[in-house]
Structure 1
Amino acid sequence: MAGATATAGRATCTYVYAVGRASKKTSRREGVGGGKVEAVGYRDLTAITSAVPAQGLRARRRDLLRHAEIVQEAFERSTVVPLRFGTTLADRDAVVEELLAPAYDQLVGLLRRFDGLAEVTVRAFYREEEVLREIVREHPRLARLRDTASPLELGEAVAKALAAKRDAAAAEIVDTVGRFALDVALDERRTELEIVRGAFLIDRDALASVDRELAELARAQAETTVFKYTGPLPPHHFVSFAAG
């Protein structure tokens, strides 16, 4: 990044949160680094921006939250193309000259593609003690192995049963939500107790149906499983666009 501007005696650059259709509305929240959120327009596009220090921008939790909140607020008003945390350009002119103008056709195409769509994220994971008790109930042989098998053999048998149960549960969740999804992005599990971690691209008109289906799943599996469902969100997992 070059050509940072000076604001109130300190060097700044322009942080870009997202691009949407032309609008003068911006957030009243403080932006990343505490700056005022402003709109930068070009033709029928608007970039949501704020000034940030030219040096020292870090992924602090406070600023990560500010970034997410400002993008979410813009998304609730209209379709947006969200940009990654930390996207900066030298100044407001550079936002037009290096982002909005050269990528105009691509940005317009993305806004059309994602119009009326939203991302929902779903995480599900087991409560360890509860799921192990259920596995033993479902597989009486495991209870008998406590007295006859070595700890290693018992552990391997339990792990195999847990993996099979987890894979079946993950398939049920993905199939249930996937029936309404235009696209699906699944992340790798981070622990053996995590069932699924995924994002689903959903038509807004189908969100209520997804809510009902997930609520039914959560009730049916409440004894052993915790569900975390977030949305509607901007299509972070499905937009492939980087400034510059």
Structure 2
Amino acid sequence: MSFGLYAYAITRDSAIDLIGPSLIRHRGLALVVADVDLDRFTGLELDEPAEDGPLAVLVREHDAVVRAVFEQEPVLPLRFGTVLDGTDAARRLLDARHEEASAWLGRVAGRREWGLRLRTAAREQVDLDQVSGTAYLALRRQRLTAAEDARHAAATVHQTLAQKVAESTRREHVGDVLLEAAYLVDTDAEEDFHAEVRRLTGELGLPAEITGPWPPYSFTRVEFSDA
């Protein structure tokens, strides 16, 4: 076995109750770490389909620790698989990233991430065998117009929500998904945020899926690239 120091997240140097991981403290910051057997990361398949496979287990463990910190203090989740040589390396990196990490912690303090996915409304099934050529072309034009209207509606939802939150980001989406986005919302504004989501999607007739609250995975970019 070979061991390393696995880094989960950066947070403030405070009294955090964690079972398992520990904190390396330096200049007001703390790195959440645990000793890890590096053999667990050998041969992992990034496209592993199994929900109970080795990669999935490790990812859930990572998220569980980040969430445990998130429930107590602002947190900057680190990239999955960040491993350091030891305590001295951790302190050097905290020192090198001190200004950056402190600024990010200030930005996410008192805020939580919420995800929003908008899909196209289900189409009415049509028996094309019973439709004439002219009617088929009209139906196709109608569907193309509806699809364009739905894309504009999703864009309107995102633009409106983005103006009411601290930060927002859109992700790549495929298939019937019109919008895949994340929003960093002040905790005291979450009720208004959800009410606005319901209002907008209801008025526009867009099926919506809301996920969260999450640690600010989509809004922190501190990485130990030289780890």
Query: If the TM-score is normalised by the length of the shorter chain, which range does it land in?
Result: 0.7 to 0.9
2:194 is the alignment partner of 1:199: no
- Show the counterpart of 2:76: 81
2:33 is the alignment partner of 1:38: no
- Show the counterpart of 1:120: 114
- When residues 119 and 15 of structure 1 are mapped into structure 2, their CA distance, relative to the original with a 3 A threshold, is same
2:164 is the alignment partner of 1:170: no
Question: Number of aligned pairs?
Answer: 212
Match of 1:106 among 100, 103, 112: 100
- Show the counterpart of 1:190: 174
Runs of 4+ in 1 over 6 A off after TM superposition: none
SS at match of 2:124: helix
Q: TM-score, normalised by structure 2?
A: 0.80
- When residues 158 and 62 of structure 1 are mapped into structure 2, their CA distance, relative to the original with a 3 A threshold, is farther
- Show the counterpart of 2:2: 11
Letter in 1 for 2:141: A
- Show the counterpart of 2:215: 234
- Show the counterpart of 1:32: none
C-alpha contact 1:189 1:196 (8 A) present in aligned 2: yes
- Show the counterpart of 2:16: 25
- Show the counterpart of 1:91: 86
- When residues 165 and 132 of structure 1 are mapped into structure 2, their CA distance, relative to the original with a 3 A threshold, is farther
Shift of 1:62: 1.4
Match of 1:53 among 29, 34, 37: 37
- When residues 146 and 188 of structure 1 are mapped into structure 2, their CA distance, relative to the original with a 3 A threshold, is farther
Distance 2:219 2:24 in 1: 24
C-alpha contact 2:7 2:32 (8 A) present in aligned 1: yes
Q: What does the per-residue CA deviation read over 1:108-167, in whole Å, with 9 as the maximum and x for residues that have no partner?
A: 12112222222211112235xxx3229x9xxxxxx9x9312496x568535513421321
- When residues 65 and 217 of structure 1 are mapped into structure 2, their CA distance, relative to the original with a 3 A threshold, is farther
Shift of 1:177: 2.1
Distance 1:92 1:227 in 2: 45
Structure 1: gaps spanning 5 or more residues = 1-9, 29-35, 137-142
C-alpha contact 1:26 1:48 (8 A) present in aligned 2: no
Letter in 1 for 2:16: K
Q: What does the per-residue CA deviation read over 1:175-207, in whole Å, with 9 as the maximum and x for residues that have no partner?
A: 34223122221112211x112100112222211
Distance 2:146 2:86 in 1: 54
- When residues 175 and 53 of structure 1 are mapped into structure 2, their CA distance, relative to the original with a 3 A threshold, is same
Letter in 2 for 1:16: A
Distance 2:17 2:88 in 1: 18
Letter in 1 for 2:221: S
SS at match of 1:69: helix
Structure 2: gaps spanning 5 or more residues = 47-54
**Root mean square deviation, CA, Å:** 2.8
